[in-house]
Structure 1
Amino acid sequence: MPYLMRVELPDVPGSLGRVASAIGEAGGDIEAIEIVEKRDGYAVDDVLLEIPTGTMPDSVVSACSVLDGVSVLWINRYAAGGNLFLDLEVVEALTEDPASARDRLVDLLPIAFRVDWAARVRPGASGATVVHATDAAPESFDLPPVTAPVRLPGSDTYVECAAPLGGDVLLMGRRGGPEFLDSELARLEHLLGLAVTISGT
C-alpha cells in the first residue's frame, strides 16, 4: 500500500541513507524521494514508500524517529499512486492546450503537490464562485482578500493555502496535513505565473 511520509532530517551527508535504512528495516520499500525544502541545517523530504499489508506505518515512523535529529512530520496513505509528478511535467501538460491551461493546472495540482483537492474561484460581492475544481473540493468558499500565496486557517479536516491567479484565486487542501511550507507556496506562485503566461491572458 503506498504511503507518503514527510520527514525532517539533518542536511549532512549520510542522513538520508540512515533514514532509508530505517525504513527498510521496518518493512517499507522506498519508491521515490523529493527534497521539499532546506532550512537552518535541515532538509525536509517527501518519501513515497510502499508498506506491505499487515505492516503498520507506525513502525516506519518509530524506526525513523529514533534517529538523531530526524523527525517524521506527517505520514498518510497516498491515493495518487506510484510516482511523484514533477513541475516540468505540469508545465508540459499546460502547453499542450494553452487555452485550457488554468483549468488543467487545477486538475494537476493534487498530484504535483500531493493535496486532496484544488479549486479556482472568482471572488465577488456575494462570495466566491467556483470556476473549476477537482472532485473532492468544497462547494463554497469564504475567502479573505488574497494578494500573494498564503496559508489559510483551514478546518478540522483540511490544511489549506491560496494564491492569486489573475483575477481569480487558486486554493488547495490537504486532509490532516502537513502544513504548506514556504517552498511549496513559492512553487505554487511560480506555476500559477507560468499558467497565466501560457494561457496568454
Structure 2
Amino acid sequence: MRSVYLLRIALPDQPGGLGEVASALGKVGADIVAVDVVSRGADGTAIDDFVVELPLGGRADSLVSACLSVPGVRVIWLSRYAAGGTLRHDLEVVESMTEQPAEAERVLVRHAPVVFRADWAFLVCRDAGTGKAVVEESTPAAPDLPGDEAPWLPLERPRRLAVPAEWDNRGWRHITAAATPMGNPDRALVIGRSGGPEILDSELARLAHLAALTQTVRQALSQS
C-alpha cells in the first residue's frame, strides 16, 4: 500500500525550479500526484504544494532530503495527506455549486477540506436570540465549539483565527484555523488544519472568493 503525503516547499520562482524538485523527488521513488502553486512573493520566492506517493517501505524523511538537495529550496511542511491524493480544484467546486444552487453553501463546506488541504470545515452562525453559536453544517472531523461560543463572530473579513488556549483539551490543540464571512458578519465558514501548515494570504483570498460565490449562486436561484 502506498503512502500519500502533502509537501509544502518554498523555492526560487524561476524557470526550471519545479522540474528540479520533481526530478529530485523521483530519485527517491516518489510519485507526484499533483502540484499547486500556492503563492508567489515579491521577493522572488514561490510556495508550492506537492501531493506525492511513496511505495511501501518508503521513508518520509527521504522527501525532505530530496527537496533540500535542490539549491534554494526550503521545506515548510510535510504530513500525511488524508484525502488520498484526490484533489478538487476551485473551478470544480464552482461547477458543483452551480449544478446544485440551493445547496451551494453545503457543497462548499463539504469540499473545503479537500480544496484547501484542511482537516475539517464548518459553517457557523450566531443565534440572534441567545447569542450562542450554532453550527449549520460541518464535515465529520470538525471539532465542537466549547460552550457554543464563536468568539470571532461577528466577522467582517476573512482572517486567520486565534484559538482560545482553554479550548486545547476540547479538540482544538495545535489547530491552525481561518474563517470568512458567509453572507453576513454573523455567519462564517471556518476551516482548520491539525498542526499546520499556516494558512496563507492567497488561501484566505480563495476562501473568501468561494464563499462570496455561494451567495451569488443562491441569489441567482432566487431571482430565476
Q: Report if TM-score (shorter chain) is over 0.5.
A: yes
List runs of 5+ in structure 1 lacking aligned partners.
none
Alpha-carbon distance in 1 for matches of 2:55, 2:218: 43
Which one of 9, 34, 37 corresponds to residue 36 of structure 2?
34
1:178 Cα deviation after fit:
0.5
Residue-by-residue CA offset, 1:32-74 (whole Å, 9 max, x unaligned): 1111100020111111111112111111112212322111111
Instruction: Tell me which residue corresponds to 1:133.
Output: 138
* Aligned residues of 2:178 and 2:191 also touching (Cα < 8 A): yes
The alignment partner of 2:135 has SS state of: strand
The alignment partner of 1:129 has SS state of: strand
Q: Residue type of the partner of 1:149? A: P
Residue-by-residue CA offset, 1:136-162 (whole Å, 9 max, x unaligned): 111215322321110112453310001
Q: CA RMSD in A?
A: 1.4
The alignment partner of 1:151 has SS state of: strand
* Aligned residues of 2:13 and 2:46 also touching (Cα < 8 A): yes
Stretch moving more, 140-149 or 43-52: 140-149
The alignment partner of 2:39 has SS state of: strand
Which one of 155, 162, 166 corresponds to residue 183 of structure 2?
166
1:126 Cα deviation after fit:
3.4
1:31 Cα deviation after fit:
1.3
The alignment partner of 2:76 has SS state of: strand
Residue-by-residue CA offset, 1:3-28 (whole Å, 9 max, x unaligned): 11111110011211111111111221
Q: Residue type of the partner of 2:26? A: G
Q: How many residues align?
A: 201
**1:188 correspondence with 2:211:** no
Instruction: Tell me which residue corresponds to 2:65.
Output: 62
Alpha-carbon distance in 1 for matches of 2:39, 2:198: 13
The alignment partner of 2:26 has SS state of: helix
Which of 1 and 2 has greater Rg? 2
Instruction: Tell me which residue corresponds to 1:152.
Output: 161
Runs of 4+ in structure 1 deviating by more than 3 angstroms, as ranges, are none
What is the percent sequence identity of the aligned residues?
48
1:127 Cα deviation after fit:
2.6
